[in-house]
Homo-oligomer: A and B are copies of this chain.
Amino acid sequence: MAKKVEKIELALPFKAEYVSVARLTASGIAARMGFDIESVEDIKVALSEVCNKLVSAGSKSSDRYVIDFIIHSSKIEILINFEDRRLAGLFGTNGDELGISIIEALMDTFKVSTDDSNTLSMSKEIKGKI
């Protein structure tokens, strides 16, 4: 499929009712990239967990959060940039938290930078093992 890196952006209101839209968009992208059904499902679930935290916390500085889907030839990368620095703090990884433990189990990588970049990033390889 895609030979060079490409980007799809989705901007959603901080509202619980639109998390399903993030899921459908993610599954459309992952299926098109050639992920198998189980991996498509993994990506959907992981992204939903991220969205859940964002919409639960909300934001005062912006109406919407932006999800960047970066399409590599054999890897999907999902990036979220927090304009609102407070949001990065939602993703502290204490092992007892259901949402975070699900994301970490389903994706190959999961990182939240609270330094200058203030970005959440997670990725999964096509046919990579979980």
* A interface list, Cβ under 8 A from B: 1-2, 6-13, 15, 17-18, 20-21, 23-25, 27-29, 32, 63-64
Q: A25 contacts which chain B residues (CB < 8 A)?
A: 10, 21, 24-25, 28
A2, A6, A64 — most chain B CB neighbours (10 Å): A6
Q: Which label, helix, strand, loop or mixed, suits the secondary structure of the A interface? A: mixed
Q: Are B21 and A8 in contact (CB under 8 A)?
A: yes
* In the complex, residue of chain B having the shortest beta-carbon distance to the beta carbon of A17: B32
Contacts of A17 on B, CB cut-off 8 Å?
1-2, 32
Which residue from B15, B20, B24, B64 sits with its C-beta under 8 Å from A9? B64
Residues B13 and A7 in contact, CB atoms below 8 Å apart: yes
How far in angstroms is the closest Cβ of chain B from A15?
A: 7
